[in-house]
Chains A and B, each alone.
Chain A
Amino acid sequence: MSGDHDHHPSPLGPHDWSHGAPHNSYAPIVMSIGIGLFLFVFAGMFDYNLELSEHEYTGHGLLWLFVAIIITGLGLLIWWRQDLSFDGTYEPLATGAPFRNIQIRKVGMFVFLMSEMMVFTSLFSTYMRYRLGLRRCDDVFADGLFDPVTNPTGWQEAVPVTCFEPASHLIASSWWHLAPGAINTFALIISSFTIVQALRYAKKTDIDEELRRKRVTMFLGTTWVLAIIFLTLKMVEWFVGFYIPDLGFIHEHDIKSLVAEGYTIGNDHYQHHSYVDEATGAHMTANIRVSASTFYVTTGTHGAHVAGGIIGLTYMTFKAWRGGYTPSNAVSIEYFGLYWHFVDLVWVLVFPFFYLY
């Protein structure tokens, strides 16, 4: 910006870190506008059909959605461009007790994680309330087929029951259904490991710069790839499904996605393959909209955190590739790592309670 101020680098360009805290930046205002526009346009992309009581995707304003994403992305680019020149010069330490001598940004990251804990606690509370408050579909099915005399509380063909149907009933029903989730668990753990390795190499002072650059880039890149694998498998599990041909030692499997199995937020007559009365062949149908909503939104929020991590990793890999990480600013990787481990930690809870139990 104006050259008459030494300490006044451009609000768009790289920062002059040797002069203390960040200076002006266009990133906040641009990103805010982008996010607001996104929420606005996204809400308009669905119509509520009064007759069917259903939400329909209309695609109105898809162009504007891209505009919103681009504006947000521009804001991020400005932010990154200002950060790219960060070489560890301005890394203040805390002064007061109890955090004395700890880097300020590290404390900030832990404080942020406190808020994240509350986010996931809220989601888990929602899940617990519904899971414990509604009857399990299993139990309803166990009541048996309705009969006005012998079994007046039973279920009836073609009358959907409102009950809680955990996704795990479908997912944990076979190894193949569970496979994407299980692989994802390993992918996340491995990625936690690789980010630790990236930090280790970035901190090493006894290796030459080129080697450090390569190693850090490699490990950050691996983490990025694993995160992408995570989201891809999630899409496969939710929407796509997969097919295993007959390989001799493995039999043919056509694994349908959750959506194809009917496990959707709009399904009020869901039918699990086991809900068939053996004697009469009658099917029990269930309204699983609440169950599916809790499942998709909780695991989806976790997925959104992974996606956020991918965005961060993209930039960090780029910075590492440019040789931006040195032992003096390797702590940046550590702070991102904290977030990334936290996402892993949440998965440690989400996986057993949403996928397995």
Chain B
Amino acid sequence: MKMNNSSRAIAALAVMAGVLLLAPLVSSLPTGIGGSSIQTAGCNCHNGVSDSSVVADIQGFPEQYNASETYSLSVSFTGGPAQAGNANLGGFNLWASDGVFSPTDGLTQLWGGSVTEIAHTEAGNDYTSWALDWTAPESGKDVDFILHVNSVNGDGVQTGQIDQWNRADYTLQSSFGVIGDVIPEAPEPFVVLATLILITLALVAITILYGFYRSDPDGFSWETFSPWIADWLTTTDHKKIGTLYFLAGLFFLGIGGIMALFIRVQLATPGNDFLTQDQYNQFFTLHGTTMIFLAAMPLINGFANWMVPLQIGAPDLAMPRLNAMSFWLQPVGALLIFTGVFSGQGADTGWTGYAPYVVDMVNGHDGNTFWAAGQIMLVASSTLTGVNFLTTIAVMRAEGMGWMQMPLFTWSILVANLMLFLSIPAFGVGLIQVYLDRVVGTAFYDVGAGGDPLLWSHLFWYFGHPEVYVVIVPAFGVISEVLATSSRRSIFGYRSMVFAMAGIGVVAFIVYGHHMFTSGMSPVLRFVTMVTTMLVAVPTGIKIFNWLKTMHGGSLVYRTHTLWALGFLVTFTLGGISGMFFPSIAMDTHLHESYFVVAHFHYVLVGGTVFGFFAAIYYWYPKMTGRMMDERLGTLHFLTAFISYNGVFWPMHRLGVWGMARRHHTYFISTDDFSNLPPEAADWNLFISVSAFLFFLSNFIMVANMVISYLRGSEAPADPWGGWSFEWMTASPPPTPSFGRYEDGVWYDLPKLRDANEHVTSEPGRFARWFNRLMVPDDGNEEVTH
């Protein structure tokens, strides 16, 4: 039996390792995944296999190349069926990993829309040698050359001596010192990123192992480890899945942060070339995708998984196995999204993936396909999560808990999942269209065939706007819980809080067009979305004022989560105010796609969502682990992170108004010839970059706090903060199942909610009577025969 367990665990790990191994496999092609057919299969138009009788040669290579110097190369071949008198003699294709080719005469031409690939022209078909120029790159990297030549018999058909081809590879080293300085090999950002990810993974693995060791120091052996790890891989317990989500979310939050740092290093000074444009484009794409889909969503799901069943007094979610399914789709989807990156062909479309660039097979990267594929899996995951949570909240509330007695965090998860669930199919369909366009050649976004790029924008934002509310609304719920508990009052205006949240949820579907004010969308739609977008400020304002009023007359205790909640109020209010500038179309034409937008959405997504979840971590950590967190470290984390955070994002407002555009590899400071950004912009950018590093590092205080507290924190009581909802009723950490016993098909001892309010019983109104008639009466349990 025990042997069985370990073999299963090994098998599961082996399968995962196999999948992991596939990723580097694709990067072994010189151009990454897929590649152009010539690079991988040779001159497939001539013959299936290469032939050694054809000898390719390049003359004119230096011993070592000097940066930016131009060299005249001569490509030639001998052998094969080519001989004088043939109609054609042959051709070639030369690819370099870097530098710029330029044709010198009409016999050669750049190939494949790239300056690093050159081939013969039709006129060049009549030669066996060709001359061309190659300009060396600025960096000191080794440059690889791949030369394909073919020797043809000139009859256009494969008769007589068939056409033959061959390949030759060259590597050219850079010379240092010729232009004065010794340039060290430039750090390859992907290598750095890969190293950092591997280090992070190793740290996570060590932490897991150490956690396992701590759980039973004496029994540390493979026989006990394999069932332990297998249990985590196969669990359907909402608390364990919540923890998995939570770890995945924090992991990707770190990865996304690392990518943000790369971006900031690049932008620290104008005209910087730390990243190439190609790399920069991939980094901001992956940064957005990672943060929204792989960091924010799993963190939300982590807390939702942990807390929703506890708060409504349910033993588990309605469909635990589906819950496990929606978790495991995420890491595999993440793997697909990241697949392209390490081959240098990662997705480079921005997280919005606008058509038609996303289906551009020439300039767009191959990684876009995998970006779409990975996202499809995340869509599937979100759909399953939605089914699960909506059902759970609708049907498994404890006795006495009506809709209007649910804790606000549960309400926020309900609203968020409803929005996500109804909007994400549009995104899924859009992604499937993109995936099929890129893979099998459908023409949804092929403008030449009549495709409409705006369709993607519509499908994306029909999902995308509800999605940004999906990530902020759970933070509303957290703040409501934290502020009320810390003020030791019940939340002010519970009902208006719920209606405001529901209102935001419904309006989210109408306002999405404000992302497309300058996209050539129908003016009627622009007008409608402008007005409704402004209206979103009303329910959001209600929430802010209710939170403020909650403190009134209370006795506010400053704990770390209180600090984060107050910090949230500051940053979210600022983000909300700057958000009011965009629905005004007249101003949006200037501010759209500028750093003002970047500042705005980081204020609401970091200052809102992330701060909300930091508050949640400090608030619920004792419940989840049974250990109290260190308050001094927590306060230090808040102070450093809050200050450096504002240092990162506040100056961006002004940069945006000045005219600094989003998603740009660099920015231009005014010169005598033209005006763009004022010189101070460079200083501010440097300031932002420095602050970004501080912000990134400050969050490790929290990670350290979590680890230290887990190991030596004091034991947490069941209700450390004085909250009222059910999660504070069970022990810390809660047992499995969290509430009740299941015996012979019946649940016993499920909690019941009491209500401190006196309810005035009145005759139900017309609507309530109608609605009550719709419901199944208690005695109507017997199914009517059909």
Which residues of A line the B interface, CB within 8 A?
Answer: 1-3, 11-12, 18-33, 35-37, 39-40, 42-50, 53-55, 71, 79, 82, 89-90, 92, 94-102, 104-105, 107-108, 111-112, 114-116, 118-119, 121-123, 125-126, 129-130, 133-134, 162-164, 196, 199-200, 203, 265-266, 268, 287, 289-290, 292-294, 296-297, 301
Can you list 26 A-B pairs with a CB-CB distance of less than 8 A? A11-B234, A18-B744, A24-B231, A28-B324, A28-B328, A32-B332, A32-B377, A36-B333, A36-B336, A55-B441, A95-B398, A96-B396, A104-B319, A105-B319, A107-B394, A112-B383, A116-B425, A123-B429, A130-B450, A130-B455, A134-B450, A162-B449, A203-B786, A287-B448, A287-B450, A289-B450
Q: Measured between C-beta atoms, what is the minimum distance from B273 to chain A in Å? A: 29
Q: Measured between C-beta atoms, what is the minimum distance from B220 to chain A in Å? A: 17
B15-23, B572-580, B620-628, B643-651 - interface stretch: B15-23
In contact, B776 and A101 (Cβ under 8 angstroms)? yes
In contact, B15 and A40 (Cβ under 8 angstroms)? no
Chain B's closest residue to A31 (CB) is B325
Contacts of A119 in B (CB 8 A): 425, 428-429
In contact, B231 and A118 (Cβ under 8 angstroms)? no
In contact, B442 and A293 (Cβ under 8 angstroms)? yes
| Distance between Cα atoms of A200 and B459 in the complex (Å) | 41
Contacts of A203 in B (CB 8 A): 783, 785-786
User: A115-B421, A133-B452, A134-B450 are known contacts. Are A95 and B399 too (CB-CB below 8 A)?
Assistant: yes
Q: Measured between C-beta atoms, what is the minimum distance from A144 to chain B in Å? A: 21
Chain B's closest residue to A288 (CB) is B449
User: A32-B325, A196-B786, A290-B446 are known contacts. Are A104 and B396 too (CB-CB below 8 A)?
Assistant: yes
B436 interface contact, C-beta 8 A? yes
In contact, A27 and B321 (Cβ under 8 angstroms)? yes
Contacts of B376 in A (CB 8 A): 39
B210 interface contact, C-beta 8 A? no
| Distance between Cα atoms of A97 and B395 in the complex (Å) | 7
Which residues of B line the A interface, CB within 8 A?
Answer: 1, 5, 8, 12, 15-16, 19, 22, 26, 33-34, 36-37, 112-113, 227, 230-231, 233-236, 315-316, 318-321, 324-325, 327-329, 331-333, 335-336, 339, 361-362, 369-370, 373-374, 376-377, 380, 383, 386-388, 390-391, 394-399, 401-403, 421-426, 428-430, 432-433, 435-444, 446, 448-452, 455, 458-459, 737, 742, 744-745, 747, 771, 774-778, 780-781, 783, 785-786
In contact, A107 and B395 (Cβ under 8 angstroms)? yes
In contact, A100 and B778 (Cβ under 8 angstroms)? yes
Q: Told that A43-B373, A115-B421 touch, could you supply 11 new A-B pairs with CB distance under 8 A?
A: A21-B315, A27-B325, A36-B377, A39-B435, A44-B26, A116-B425, A126-B459, A129-B452, A130-B452, A162-B448, A265-B443
Q: Measured between C-beta atoms, what is the minimum distance from A212 to chain B in Å? A: 15
Q: Measured between C-beta atoms, what is the minimum distance from A232 to chain B in Å? A: 22
In contact, B449 and A268 (Cβ under 8 angstroms)? yes
Q: Which of A46, A115, A121, A297 has the most B CB atoms < 10 Å from its CB?
A: A115
Contacts of A108 in B (CB 8 A): 318-319, 387-388, 391
Dominant secondary structure at the B interface: helix
Chain A's closest residue to B428 (CB) is A119
| Distance between Cα atoms of A287 and B448 in the complex (Å) | 9
In contact, A290 and B449 (Cβ under 8 angstroms)? yes
| Distance between Cα atoms of A79 and B16 in the complex (Å) | 19
In contact, A126 and B429 (Cβ under 8 angstroms)? yes
Contacts of A50 in B (CB 8 A): 36, 112-113, 361-362
In contact, B443 and A289 (Cβ under 8 angstroms)? yes
Q: Measured between C-beta atoms, what is the minimum distance from A198 to chain B in Å? A: 12
Q: Which of A50, A107, A287, A293 has the most B CB atoms < 10 Å from its CB?
A: A293
Chain A's closest residue to B444 (CB) is A293
Q: Which residue in B403, B422, B423, B742 is a CB contact (below 8 Å) of A97?
A: B403
In contact, B327 and A12 (Cβ under 8 angstroms)? no
User: A33-B332, A36-B336, A290-B449 are known contacts. Are A1 and B397 too (CB-CB below 8 A)?
Assistant: no
| Distance between Cα atoms of A30 and B399 in the complex (Å) | 37
| Distance between Cα atoms of A40 and B18 in the complex (Å) | 13
Q: Which of B26, B747, B783 has the most A CB atoms < 10 Å from its CB?
A: B783
Contacts of B361 in A (CB 8 A): 48, 50, 53
Contacts of B339 in A (CB 8 A): 40
| Distance between Cα atoms of A42 and B376 in the complex (Å) | 14
Contacts of A3 in B (CB 8 A): 1
| Distance between Cα atoms of A18 and B112 in the complex (Å) | 64
In contact, B402 and A43 (Cβ under 8 angstroms)? no
Contacts of A95 in B (CB 8 A): 395-399
In contact, B34 and A47 (Cβ under 8 angstroms)? yes
In contact, A43 and B396 (Cβ under 8 angstroms)? no
| Distance between Cα atoms of A348 and B324 in the complex (Å) | 34
Contacts of B429 in A (CB 8 A): 119, 122-123, 126
| Distance between Cα atoms of A122 and B771 in the complex (Å) | 31
| Distance between Cα atoms of A36 and B320 in the complex (Å) | 21
In contact, B15 and A71 (Cβ under 8 angstroms)? yes
In contact, A35 and B329 (Cβ under 8 angstroms)? yes
Q: Measured between C-beta atoms, what is the minimum distance from A111 to chain B in Å? A: 5
Contacts of B432 in A (CB 8 A): 297, 301
Q: Which residue in B315, B444, B449 is a CB contact (below 8 Å) of A287?
A: B449
Q: Which of B328, B421, B424 has the most A CB atoms < 10 Å from its CB?
A: B328
In contact, A33 and B452 (Cβ under 8 angstroms)? no
In contact, B370 and A43 (Cβ under 8 angstroms)? yes
Chain A's closest residue to B406 (CB) is A96
Contacts of A294 in B (CB 8 A): 444
| Distance between Cα atoms of A37 and B370 in the complex (Å) | 11
Contacts of A55 in B (CB 8 A): 439-441
In contact, A29 and B433 (Cβ under 8 angstroms)? no
| Distance between Cα atoms of A35 and B376 in the complex (Å) | 10
| Distance between Cα atoms of A2 and B223 in the complex (Å) | 11
Q: Measured between C-beta atoms, what is the minimum distance from A201 to chain B in Å? A: 11
In contact, A30 and B15 (Cβ under 8 angstroms)? yes
In contact, B22 and A40 (Cβ under 8 angstroms)? yes
Q: Which residue in A46, A162, A199 is a CB contact (below 8 Å) of B439?
A: A46
In contact, A126 and B444 (Cβ under 8 angstroms)? yes
Contacts of A28 in B (CB 8 A): 234, 321, 324-325, 327-328
In contact, B742 and A19 (Cβ under 8 angstroms)? yes
| Distance between Cα atoms of A18 and B743 in the complex (Å) | 8
Chain A's closest residue to B317 (CB) is A21
Chain A's closest residue to B449 (CB) is A289
Q: Which residue in B37, B394, B424, B449 is a CB contact (below 8 Å) of A96?
A: B394
In contact, A99 and B440 (Cβ under 8 angstroms)? no
Chain B's closest residue to A110 (CB) is B391
Contacts of A47 in B (CB 8 A): 34, 37
| Distance between Cα atoms of A130 and B456 in the complex (Å) | 12
Q: Measured between C-beta atoms, what is the minimum distance from A193 to chain B in Å? A: 13
In contact, B19 and A36 (Cβ under 8 angstroms)? yes
| Distance between Cα atoms of A183 and B67 in the complex (Å) | 70
Contacts of B234 in A (CB 8 A): 11, 24-26, 28-29
The 5 closest A-B pairs by CB, nearest first: A94-B395, A55-B441, A289-B443, A36-B332, A20-B742
| Distance between Cα atoms of A71 and B22 in the complex (Å) | 15
Q: Which residue in B19, B446, B781 is a CB contact (below 8 Å) of A37?
A: B19
Q: Measured between C-beta atoms, what is the minimum distance from A300 to chain B in Å? A: 9
In contact, B422 and A21 (Cβ under 8 angstroms)? no
